[in-house]
Amino acid sequence: MNDRRNVIVTGSTSGIGLGIARAFCAQGMNVALNGFGDADDIEHIRAGLAQEFSVDVRYLRADMSQPSAVRGMIDEATQALGPIDVLVNNAGIQFVSPIEDFPPEKWDAIIAVDLSAAFHAIRAAIPSMKRRKSGRIINVASAHALVASPFKSAYVSAKHGVAGLTKTVALEVAEDNITVNAICPGYVLTPLVERQIPDTAKARGISEQEVVRDVLLAAQPTKRFVTVEEVAALAMFLAGEHAGSITGAIIPIDGGWTAH
């Protein structure tokens, strides 16, 4: 494969974002990684991808909760790699709590990272895509862009917002050969999900095993976690030439969860 397009994947030091970044590298694309983590671990990931797939891989430590950092990331990635062909807004955080105890600062942080960062990144990336009449924007939303679960008020609100943002921008740039879509995974066993298991157990007064069986996978008719590789393959398809007519779509990949 030798698809030398340039890609940014936000929140790609872990989980789904890293899986998507890896899939793009395997396709021969140059990738800007972003996210938090131990500096040595991230350099190991960056250098490993660059070497394995002979592509240019950069790391940009922009904090997606800061609008100026999001804008700066788009500029830096463009300077390092060239014009951005594919933007994947994936960075996300979660917090689980009954509404009356939900800390307002957690609400603000989740809205900033899970929703506003996508707005700022898209806003900064679109002018160049429009000039070049080419671009792909993929927002990693969630099944929670379509349905709610208790105790996740900020996350569900942010992800529903991402669905609205996706549809709106898709309409605005439809004639510019730019597509904008949202991927809506059900539960994928990543650090984000692993971290919320103890909190959900506490909020519901049940054991962690019961959270996995009766809360997480209860919603998923396939009774298994969606895999990172499945989500990455969908992102690859949306970035590919045969997805040119798919835009403004809110696409579940959730083992049947939202078919309920």
Residue 11 lies near ligand NAD (rule: CB under 6 A): yes
| Binder among 34, 116, 181, 220 for ligand NAD (CB under 6 A) | 34
Q: Which of residues 175-214 bind ligand NAD (CB under 6 A)?
A: 185, 187-188, 190-193
Number of chain residues interacting with ligand NAD (CB under 6 A): 29
Burial pattern 50-87, b for ≥16 Cβ within 10 A else e, equals beebebbbbbbebbbbbbebbbebbebbbeebeebbbb
14 vs 179, beta carbon nearer ligand NAD = 14
The H or E element spanning position 57 is strand 57-60
- Interior CA angle at 237 toward 177 and 5, to 5°? 60
Long-range pairs for 41-50: beta carbons < 8 A, 24 or more residues apart: 41/13, 42/13, 45/13, 45/18, 49/21, 49/22, 49/25, 50/25
> Of 35 and 135, which CB lies nearer to ligand NAD in the complex structure?
35
142 binds ligand NAD (CB under 6 A): yes
Q: Give the three-class secondary structure for 60.
A: strand
Question: Is residue 148 within the footprint of ligand NAD (CB under 6 A)?
Answer: no
| Minimum CB distance to ligand NAD smaller for 3 or for 35 | 35
Query: In whole angstroms, what is the distance from residue 237 CA to residue 73 CA?
Result: 25
Angle, CA 203 vertex, CA 200 and CA 209 arms, to 5°: 40
Q: CA 166, 60, 190 angle in degrees (round to 5)?
A: 65
Q: Which is nearer to ligand NAD, 12 or 181 (CB)?
A: 12
* Of the residues 6, 65, 116, 153, which one makes contact with ligand NAD according to CB under 6 A: 65
Residue 96 CB, shortest distance to ligand NAD, in Å, is 13
Among 91, 129, 236, 239, binds ligand NAD (CB under 6 A): 91
Residue 46 tokens read as 């960056």
Give yes or no: 187 in active site: no
Helix, strand, or coil here: 198?
Answer: helix
Among 5, 9, 15, 97, binds ligand NAD (CB under 6 A): 15
Determine which one of 155, 187, 225, 257 is catalytic: 155
| Of 20-28, 32-40, 41-49, 238-246: span binding ligand NAD (CB under 6 A) | 32-40
Contacting positions for ligand NAD (CB under 6 A): 11-17, 34-37, 63-65, 90-93, 113-114, 140, 142, 185, 187-188, 190-193
Residues tagged active-site = 155
